[in-house]
Amino acid sequence: MFCTCAGCAKILPAEAMAKPRPVVISGPSGAGKSTLLKQLLGEYGQVFGFSVSHTTRNPRPGEEHGRDYHFVSREEMLRGIEAGEFIENAEFSGNMYGTRNND
């Protein structure tokens, strides 16, 4: 396995790949996150998985609950955060987003 960051060409030790590690793809709307994710899952589906985040915002046209996001109420999201069910969460533009521990 080769590292592709910043032109690096080091072979990664097997122990570094022994357990799943999160990879975060982040960027503004329209930056190509979904395109990159589709390519990674298509070419390396045995290596990469996908976590469906939770949000309090309304679905956009074409989005499906459970595929694009888990669309939940603010109250449900706050209860889950208080109960320690989220590994991360944030509020952006008045809507809450987060990833549950079991996603």
Q: What is the CATH number of the domain that holds 78?
A: 3.30.63.10
CA distances from 15 to 2, 10, 40, 63 (A): 14, 14, 22, 38
Domain that holds residue 41: 22-46
CA distance 97 to 36: 21
Whether residues 75 and 36 share a domain: the answer is: no
CA distances from 19 to 13, 16, 67, 85, 101 (A): 12, 7, 25, 22, 17
Q: Does the structure show a pLDDT above 60 at 2?
A: no
Q: What is the pTM for the complete model shown?
A: 0.65
**Mean pLDDT, all residues of the chain:** 84
Q: Label residue 13 by pLDDT band (50, 70, 90).
A: low
Whether residues 76 and 94 share a domain: the answer is: yes
Please tell me whether residue 60 adopts helix, strand or coil conformation. coil
